[in-house]
Structure formats: structure tokens, C-alpha cells
Structure 1
Amino acid sequence: MMESLHVAVAVLSLLSLGQTAPTTNCESLTKRIQIPGRDQLLGRWNLIAESTDVVSAKQLLEMSRITLWANYVAATEENIMIGSMHLKMAGLCFSMTFNSTLENNTFTLTYPYSTTSFQLKTGCPDCMVLYYNATFGRSSYRGVQLLSRRPKVSAAELQEFKKQVECLNLPEAAFLDPNQGFCPDPSLSKDSTSFDVTSFMGAGDMKMIDEIFRSGAAVETFSEMFSQIFSTFGETVEN
């Protein structure tokens, strides 16, 4: 059971300014922006939506009913940020820590899997749109995430992100439901309980996840895992 839980959390984690008018032009929406420094990136970001070319990712994200937020703090090194991810699933909270390097306007992660990403232009005043390329196992994938300081964004801001997804020729995005609630901030709540899965996110997990996706049976396999998890904690998976 715990092995299935670790794998489920692992796959869900990888699927982990000033007011302006929404932009609709593809050339502008896919424009890579300059990042003057890491300070504006520090703090909490809530995952609002994500699109990726990982097969069945949208169905899996929505089926799992997760919410996710990340927090970044400055490391001693000038170009390093220490990130923590907080994922809620089946009423349980899971956390993971990682280092992110910012150099030449590009974010680089090497753990739990290799990822490079950069920011795209957005009209949302407190959002960050990240376009990424990720490699785990033998496969490489690309995608884009919408993150915000707020748990919800406006309809116009969602529409702008949908247009960005179209412009990037990516599949329809999955939108996370903030009504499911978020894991509490462990720095503010001493009573919060979270399972730290950092040490479980190894190369073997990434290889197994890659093989599941490559098999074409990702929905069936992870659906069974989610069903076991939700059943164990008194919940059911909505199909």
C-alpha cells in the first residue's frame, strides 16, 4: 500500500508585476520574459492549472482531486532557491524539498527528475506561467503550468492560459479545484502532519512511472492506485 502511495505522489508531483490586460496574441503569449532576480520568485505559489504532453495527464490530475502549492526561499548561493512542495490527496498531505537553480532566465532542477523551465508572458498580475521540459526514465516531456499567489484566478486569466496552451500546441489543460482545500503551511501550523516523500523520489520511481506511461495503461494503473488510497482513507474516486 505504501509503495503505491509513494508512486502516486511521485507522478502527481511531476504532472509538481502590475495589472495588465489579458494577452491573446500567440507571439506575445509564448514570449520568454527576462527575470531580473530571484527575489520576485520567492514565497508561496499555488498550482492553478497544468498542460503536458504526458499521455492521460489531464485525466489523472483531475481524477486524483489534488491541490498543490510550493514555497521558495533563498539559499546562501545567489542563484539557488530551496523549494518545498505541498500536495494534498485523499485528505493527506505530502511534502518534498528540492533545489532550483536560476541562471540565464532558466530554472533548472536535477531532483527528483531533470527539468528546465522558463517564464512566459502573462497578463495576470500575481501569476507565473512556466514552460518546462522534463526527463524521467527514457522519456522527455514538455508542458506549461499556471501558478498564482492566489488560490483562484479570474475567468479572463484562465482564458488567457488556455490560449497559451493552444499556442504551444499542447493538450487541453487540467484545472485543479481549490475547494478541495490546501495543506497547511508547516511553518505556521505546529499541529500540521505531512509525509515527507523526498527520500522516496529516486531514479527507480521515475523509471517505473515512465514505463507505466509508455505502456499505454497509465489511467488504469494509477486509477487502481488512487482507488486503493481513497478507499483506505474513507473516500472514493470520482470517475
Structure 2
Amino acid sequence: MFVAVCAIALLCFVSVSHSAPLACEELVRPLDQLNLRHLEGRWALVAGSLSHLPNLERFKQRDSATVNFASNTSDSAISYTRGIRLDNKCMYNSYNISLEGSSFTYDGTAQSNFSLNFAHTSCHDCMLMHMKVQSGKQQHFYLFSRRRELEQSEMEEFRAQVECLNMPPPAVMDPTKELCLEETAAAQTDVKTEGQKN
């Protein structure tokens, strides 16, 4: 009887140990195909993890961040603008990217040491970006959403995904912090402000 119990316990342990990597493989799998129409528009950064700890500490200092994907007629190329609010100031960077399935590469040589793909998430209005830097020596994993704050179960899924990648616990953005305006709106606001000064 004791031998039978030990054998069953051993079988249970083996099946659990084999299922854990498969669960991680499923949790962090890249999307099969990216829908560009789903991508278009503005996304707020909800949380992120960076494998390089000094970069993670700098990441935690930002108040908020957004990415805004332009509408595009091309099936394989799109541009986006990143807006970061830090110390009550907004900084913008624009990028052109080429898509291949769920992965994309940056156009131009400045970003050639980056590779990026969109990963699966069960959150219906979320976007997961998994970036590998310097041939995979560093990883960045970002969760964006149309909402500023997600359900607990959605955040738990993201934390599990981060853990599967052996990355530090994610930094979560404060949803009460103001987002940067879209760059065109910010430029118009700056022009109005300059006009009022003169």
C-alpha cells in the first residue's frame, strides 16, 4: 500500500513539474499574427519590468507613459510616438517600424540592436510588448492598455508572465498621474502658450 501511495505521489509530482514550463511557454508566447487595426491609437503604460536593474530604477521614476500608433494603409509598416511624463514634463520620440507576423524591427540602424514582439494576453484591451536588447542580454516587458487601471486578475497574469521570463517584479504606474497629451495637441498648446506670452 505504501509503495502504491509513493508511486502515485511521484507521478503527480512529475506531471506538475512537466506542466509548469508548458504553462510559462503558453503565458509568454508571441502572438501568431498582429492586427494593425487593433494596434492603432493611444495606449497607456500600466506596468513594466526590465531585466537590467539600473534601467528598472530609472523606469520607476517616470510619472506616466503612452504609445500612440498612427493609422496606416501599409500591411507591414507603421509608426508610433512614445510620450513620457517625467518631473511634470513630457518628452516625445517617434519611430518607424516594420512588422513581420507579431514581431517588428525598427527602421534605420539606430535601433538595430533591438528586437521586439507582441505577446499573448487574455486582457481584451491590452497590448504586451516584449523587447530584447543587445542580442537578448537585456529584456524589457511592457503592459499597455486602453484603460489606466486593470483588474486584479489581469495584473496577476502579467506578474506571472514576468516571473516566467525570470525578470524582476514589475513596476506599476500610478493611474492618477496625468498622461502626456498627444504630440500634435501638445504642439498646439505650446503655440497658444507662446502667443499668450507675447
Alignment TM-score, normalising by the size of structure 2: 0.74
Residue equivalent to 1:4: none
Does residue 1:135 correspond to 2:120, yes or no?
A: no
Aligned-partner SS, 2:182 = coil
Q: Of 162, 165, 171, which residue of structure 2 is paired with 1:165?
A: 162
Q: Of 173, 176, 191, which residue of structure 1 is paired with 2:173?
A: 176
Residue equivalent to 1:48: 46
Shift of 1:150: 1.1
Shift of 1:156: 1.4
Distance 1:189 1:98 in 2: 18
Which runs of no fewer than 5 residues in structure 2 stay unpaired?
Answer: 1-22, 192-198
Shift of 1:189: 5.8
Shift of 1:178: 2.5
Distance 1:42 1:101 in 2: 15
Residue equivalent to 1:19: none
Residue equivalent to 1:28: 26
Q: Give the 5 Å matches for 1:186-225.
A: 186-188=183-185, 191-193=188-190
Distance change >3 Å, CA 74–CA 101, structure 1 → 2 = farther
Question: Retained in 1: the 8 A contact 2:130–2:141?
Answer: yes
Aligned-partner SS, 1:192 = helix
Which runs of no fewer than 5 residues in structure 1 stay unpaired?
Answer: 1-24, 195-239
Question: Retained in 2: the 8 A contact 1:74–1:80?
Answer: no
Residue equivalent to 1:101: 98
Question: Retained in 2: the 8 A contact 1:58–1:172?
Answer: no
What are the superposed Cα offsets for residues 61-107 of structure 1, whole Å, 9 maximum, x if unpaired?
A: 22x23211011114454311111111111111111111011113211
Higher Cα radius of gyration:
2
Fraction of identical pairs, as percent: 26
Select between 155-164 and 72-81 the one with higher mean Cα deviation: 72-81
Q: State the aligned residue count.
A: 168
- Which amino acid in 2 is paired with 1:69? T
Does residue 1:156 correspond to 2:153, yes or no?
A: yes
Residue equivalent to 1:118: 117
Distance change >3 Å, CA 79–CA 163, structure 1 → 2 = same
Distance 1:193 1:49 in 2: 29
Alignment TM-score, normalising by the size of structure 1: 0.63
Residue equivalent to 2:64: 67
Question: Retained in 1: the 8 A contact 2:41–2:70?
Answer: yes
Task: Supply the RMSD in Å over aligned alpha carbons.
Answer: 2.5
Which has the higher relative contact order, 1 or 2, with Cα contacts under 8 A spaced 6 or more apart?
1
Question: Retained in 1: the 8 A contact 2:116–2:132?
Answer: yes
What are the superposed Cα offsets for residues 15-55 of structure 1, whole Å, 9 maximum, x if unpaired?
A: xxxxxxxxxx3232122221253221111111111112112
- Which amino acid in 1 is paired with 2:151? S
Distance 2:105 2:168 in 1: 24
What are the superposed Cα offsets for residues 214-238 of structure 1, whole Å, 9 maximum, x if unpaired?
A: xxxxxxxxxxxxxxxxxxxxxxxxx
Residue equivalent to 2:89: 92
Residue equivalent to 2:79: 82
